[in-house]
Amino acid sequence: MVEVIDEGLLEGSGVPLAGSELSLEDAMAAARKRYKWMPLCAVEEWTILDAIVTDAERTKVSAAGCQPMFMFAYKVVDDEQRRFEPGHWVRSSMGTAFNDGFLFETRNSVYVLLGPGHRKSATIKEIFSLF
């Protein structure tokens, strides 16, 4: 696997979050109850990145039905549609919601956040440097 991860952005400070403490099967079942038709991707070692944006940018993002936040995970555990290989890293597209403390929603996927993670602010440039 090629390492393209900016360790400085993802290491250290940030607000600790619990994620789901359920087993993989139970967490996926809970997500499926809420999201009947969205593809699910379970991840570990995750960080929610709140993009630092201007008020004008925030207005545009909101008008598009999104929130200026992204999710990065070091480890894909299970992806229903096999878009991401288990053990690889993933960075989401812009989020639309963060529910129940462990369900990170985008327009086309729901990431099931397993175990502890973090939330922190970052510039768009920093976030896209992760890709």
Task: Express each pLDDT in 55-70 by its tens digit.
Answer: 999 999 999 999 999 9
pLDDT, residue 129, reads: 83
Q: What pLDDT, on the 0 to 100 scale, is given for residue 5?
A: 40
Q: What is the pLDDT at residue 69? A: 97
Kindly state the tokens that stand for 66.
């999104």
- Other C-beta atoms lying within 10 Å of the C-beta of residue 96: 16
- Residue 131 pLDDT: 57
Strand partners, 46: 73, 117
The residue type of 117 is G
pLDDT surpassing 50 at residue 81: yes
Residue 46 tokens, joined: 């995750």
pLDDT at position 8, please? 56
Q: Give tens-digit pLDDT for 2-43.
A: 333 444 565 656 899 999 999 999 999 999 999 999 999 999
Spatial separation of the C-alpha atoms in residues 3 and 1, rounded to whole Å: 6
Give yes or no for residue 94 having a pLDDT over 90: yes
Residue 89 has a pLDDT of 95
pLDDT of residue 3: 38
Residue carrying structure tokens 């250290």: 12
Q: Whole-angstrom Cα distance, residue 112 to residue 15? A: 18
At residue 126, the pLDDT reads 87
**How far apart are the C-alpha atoms of 38 and 105, rounded to whole Å?**
9
pTM for the complete prediction? 0.88
The answer on pLDDT for 50 being more than 50 is yes
Residue 104 has pLDDT above 80, yes or no: yes
Q: Are 110 and 40 in contact (CB under 8 A)?
A: yes
